[in-house]
Structure 1
Amino acid sequence: MTLDVIGAGLGRNATFTMKFALERLGFGPCFHMAELFADVRRRLPLWLDVVDGRPDWDAVFDGFRSVTDYPACTYWRELAAHYPRAKFVLTTRDPDSWFDSVSETIFAPRMQATLVGTPAEKMMQGAIYDAFKGGSMQDRAFMTGWYVRRNEAVIAALPPERLLVFHPKEGWEPLCAFLGVPVPDCPFPRVNSRDELGSASDETGGLPADPVELEAWGRSYIDTMREKAFA
């Protein structure tokens, strides 16, 4: 199995919505950060190899037909080269809205504190946080400027036949036309932006530190969000 669709949108850009949409269109399973959590003992070592510059992309995405969200979106250039037939979907939003969202969730101090001293800390640092070494993650002007430039780089690098710039509000039609599949007879999935991180993690101050608990949480989280997406 090889990747057919690659989501280039950063985390907090409807990446869970895209996971469920791609799976409904037949491009599943779709890898997402939550899938890493749900199988962390097996998958984290593969991503640590990626951070160390020794990626085995076929092993990383074994069993998946598509991917969205962090940490994969950081490596869109490498994935474009490794999977030359894959199409890309770049989900976007207002830069200030993105900054507000990541500041309250995946980049929040409570979330980063959860990772300290764990193997996942190195993966998150290398695959996500190192991109912001030129400034502060708390600096709105720096982060929103970086966000715009990063998305512009994706658009400039990928030919139009490989890239769709997309917002879920557009619905099924542009996505299905781009991927060459029929429009489903159901509403486009919707995942609440607050729920996308998981209310349980908010209440406990972060994600479970124990790998077994994290895997159980990740699988339950995916199942719950899938039910809500098509409610």
Structure 2
Amino acid sequence: MKVVGAGFGRTGTKSLQAALEELGFGPCYHMTELFEHPEHAETWEAARRGEPVDWDGFLGDYEAAVDWPACTFYEELMERYPDAKVLLSVRDPDRWYESVCNTIYELSRLTVISPLSRPTFRLVGLFVPAIGKVSRMNNRLIWEDTFDGKFEDREYAKAIFERHNADVRRRVSPEKLLVYEVKDGWDPLCDFLGVEVPGKPFPRLNDTAEMRSRVRAVRAVSLAVPAVLALLAGGLYLTFSRLSRQPRA
């Protein structure tokens, strides 16, 4: 591990993942890896509970890590990889909060938190176990542990965000730390990592519009599945009702 990302999600971490891999620091771990490797959720759960984790065995193939869940454990990763540099991706707190609300928090409400859609995704989870396992882990790690179940309190969530960033600045030695906004592009990132600036534009990925389209798709599923089940149940009821009224031979 050469680069440890300490910044919260929705601070440009998907673009940052692509940028680091372009610069030769790949593969780079991001929350999206969990959906490709849902078995990883068990290790992150163990770390969340404070149990020992074999970081080499778990992340040994990765040269960098950004976003949740890795940013929660930046201190443990720094301890295991003392030569790694720490990248704190930041953003205006108000814009960060709005982005999280409209994307990953909305997704979590649809898949885990909402009592209306939760049964639907439990049913989906029978066929796609990764969805339930990863969603539950993220819910506990991010919304319950990091934000104490109070993310909807805007000022409280922003205070957690700013406190985390201040803690990183205080705990990481200045020569190993870059406080970075993705809008600044290649130059500060390449200078910090000691690599040449690529001859291509800085990647811009996973913007709010793209994430909102995913939210709409998930919401459509959460509404469609109960409707289909209701229609099936109604059809079965009518069928059995008609059969019961037929005269017996």
TM-score calculated relative to the size of structure 1: 0.80
1:170 maps onto 2:188 in alignment: no
Q: Percent identity?
A: 40
When residues 196 and 121 of structure 1 are mapped into structure 2, their CA distance, relative to the original with a 3 A threshold, is same
Larger RCO: Structure 1 or Structure 2 (Cα < 8 Å, ≥ 6 residues apart)?
1
Give deviations 1:169-206, integer Å, cap 9, x for gaps: 21111111110111111111112522563733432229
Structure with more helix by fraction: 2
Q: In the aligned structure 1, how far is the partner of 2:95 from the partner of 2:181?
A: 14
Q: What secondary structure is seen at the aligned counterpart in 1 of 2:208?
A: coil
Q: In the aligned structure 1, how far is the partner of 2:71 from the partner of 2:142?
A: 9
Give the aligned partner of residue 95 of structure 2: 97
Number of residues of Structure 1 aligned to a counterpart in Structure 2: 203
1:96-175 alignment, distance < 5 Å: 96-108=94-106, 110-115=107-112, 118-129=132-143, 130-133=145-148, 136-175=150-189
How big is the shift at 1:22?
0.2
Does the aligned pair in 1 maintain the 2:87–2:177 contact within 8 Å?
Answer: yes
Does the aligned pair in 2 maintain the 1:93–1:167 contact within 8 Å?
Answer: yes
Q: In the aligned structure 1, how far is the partner of 2:167 from the partner of 2:25?
A: 26
In structure 1, stretches of 5+ residues that fail to align are 209-231
User: In terms of Rg, which structure is larger?
Assistant: 2
Give the aligned partner of residue 220 of structure 1: none
Aligned alpha-carbon RMSD (Å): 2.1
In structure 2, stretches of 5+ residues that fail to align are 113-117, 123-131, 223-249
When residues 185 and 153 of structure 1 are mapped into structure 2, their CA distance, relative to the original with a 3 A threshold, is same
Give the aligned partner of residue 245 of structure 2: none
Does the aligned pair in 1 maintain the 2:35–2:134 contact within 8 Å?
Answer: no
Pick one of 21, 24, 34 that aligns with 1:23.
21
Does the aligned pair in 2 maintain the 1:14–1:168 contact within 8 Å?
Answer: yes
Give the aligned partner of residue 50 of structure 1: 47
Q: In the aligned structure 2, how far is the partner of 1:206 from the partner of 1:14?
A: 27
